[in-house]
Amino acid sequence: PDKPSPVCKRVRLYTTVITVLFYTFCSLRVGHVSANMAPVYPTLLLCVYGFFTSLRPSEPFLTAFLMGPEKNLTETQVSGCSGLVAVLRMLFDDFVQCYRCHTLLSWSLWWALATCGYFQIINYAQPLWEKIRPSQGYEIYNGYVEMLSTLLGALAALLVGCLPVSWALWGELALCVLSLLMAVCVFVMDTLKNIWVCYSSYILFRTTYMLLITVATYQIAASLNMQRYALVFGVNTFVALLLQSLLTLVVVDSSVLGLDVLTQFLVYGAYFAVISVIFLLAGLCKLASRRRSEQKPLPGSRAESETASPPISDSSSSS
C-alpha cells in the first residue's frame, strides 16, 4: 500500500503544531479586525492545512528516487533525522538545475502567467455573460458554449502536432502572437457587449489556450528527464495559482480595488497584452542572439584562414 515515508510523517507533525498555533493566533485576531477581513484568517488557515496535508509523496516513488544512482542516499539517510534537510537541499538543487535551461524557463514562465489569467477568465465569464444578457429575461446558452469550447480545445490539442512550426526557434514569437490574440478576445468580450460576439471570443480564447498549453507541456517535458516532471509541473502550477490568488485579491476583493466585472475583464485583457509584450522582447532577443552566432566565423573556417594568412609581398610574386 501507498504509505507516507518517515520524512513525510515528521512534516505532518510539524505542520499540525504550526497550524494549531496559527489557529490560536487567528482566533485572537478575528476579534480585532473588521467584519470584511474576518473570514480571511480561517480561510488562510484552511489553505495552509490543506496544502500540507496533501503533501504526501508516496513511499515507493520517493524512496526509489532518493536512493537511485543519481542521488546516492542510503535508506538510513532517507529515514533519519537529517533526511528532511537532505531532501529539501536536493529538491532545491534540482529546481535550480531545471530552470537554468532557457527553453524550459521561457515556456514555464508562459505556463504560470497564462494559466493565472485563464483561470480568472473562466471563473468570471459567467458573471460577465449575466451582465451582458440577464438570464431572467432571455434564453441563455452558457452550457453549450462551455461544451463547444472544451471540444474545440481538445481538437486543437490533438491537431497541434500537425502544425509546421519549429517551436524551438519560433516559440517565443508564437507565444507573443497567440497571447496577443487571447488579449484581443478578452477586450472584445469586455467592450462590444454583444452576447454572441462574447460567446465566440470566449470559445476562441479557450481554444487558443488549450493549443498553447499542449505545446508548452511538450516543450517542458522534452527539456527534462522523467524524474523531474513532478517538480517542474508542480512548481509551475503552484506559481500560477499563487498569481491568481494575488490577482483576485487586488482586482476582485472589495477591500482592495473591488472592480466590477466589466472593468475586471479590461484588466485581464491588459494582463494578456503584457504577456505578449514580454515574449515579443524575448523572441527578438533570441533571434538577435541566433543571428550573431551565425555571423561569427567558425574556428578553422575558410574566411578565418584567409584573414589570418599574411599578405603576399611583391618580391615573392615577381619571383
- How confident is the prediction along the chain (319 residues), in pLDDT tens digits per residue? 444 455 555 555 565 666 556 555 555 554 444 445 545 556 666 666 566 555 544 444 455 555 555 555 555 555 554 556 776 777 788 888 888 888 889 999 999 999 999 999 999 999 999 999 888 878 889 999 999 999 999 999 998 888 888 887 888 899 999 999 999 999 999 998 899 999 999 999 999 999 999 999 988 888 888 778 888 888 899 999 999 999 999 999 888 898 999 999 999 999 999 999 999 998 898 888 888 877 765 555 554 444 444 544 444 444 4
C-alpha count within 13 angstroms, C-beta hemisphere, residue 126: 7
Contact between 276 and 179 under an 8 Å Cβ cutoff? The reply is yes
CA–CA separation, 20 and 97 (whole Å): 36
Q: Note whether 134 and 275 are same-domain residues.
A: yes
Q: Note whether 106 and 242 are same-domain residues.
A: yes
Domain boundary among 71, 94, 117: 94
Q: Note whether 88 and 163 are same-domain residues.
A: no
Residue 243 lies in a domain: yes
Range of the domain at 181: 102-293
Q: Note whether 57 and 193 are same-domain residues.
A: no
Q: Which residues contact 71 (CB under 8 A, 6 or more apart)?
A: 65, 90
Q: Note whether 181 and 155 are same-domain residues.
A: yes
Q: Note whether 204 and 71 are same-domain residues.
A: no
CA angle at 209 for the pair 204 and 215, rounded to the nearest 5°:
130
Number of domains in the chain: 2
Domain boundary among 45, 60, 94: 94
Q: Note whether 34 and 179 are same-domain residues.
A: no
Q: Note whether 79 and 110 are same-domain residues.
A: no
Contact between 103 and 223 under an 8 Å Cβ cutoff? The reply is yes
Domain boundary among 72, 94, 116: 94
Q: Note whether 273 and 179 are same-domain residues.
A: yes
First to last CA, the chain: 91
In this prediction, what percent of the chain has a pLDDT beyond 90?
38
Q: Note whether 159 and 79 are same-domain residues.
A: no
Q: Which residue matches cell numbers 472544451?
A: 150
Is 314 buried (19+), middle (13-18) or exposed (0-12) by CB count in 10 A?
Answer: exposed
Q: Note whether 86 and 106 are same-domain residues.
A: no
**What is residue 80's three-state secondary structure?**
coil
Q: Note whether 223 and 277 are same-domain residues.
A: yes
For residue 236, give the CATH number of its domain: 1.20.1250.20
**What is residue 98's three-state secondary structure?**
helix
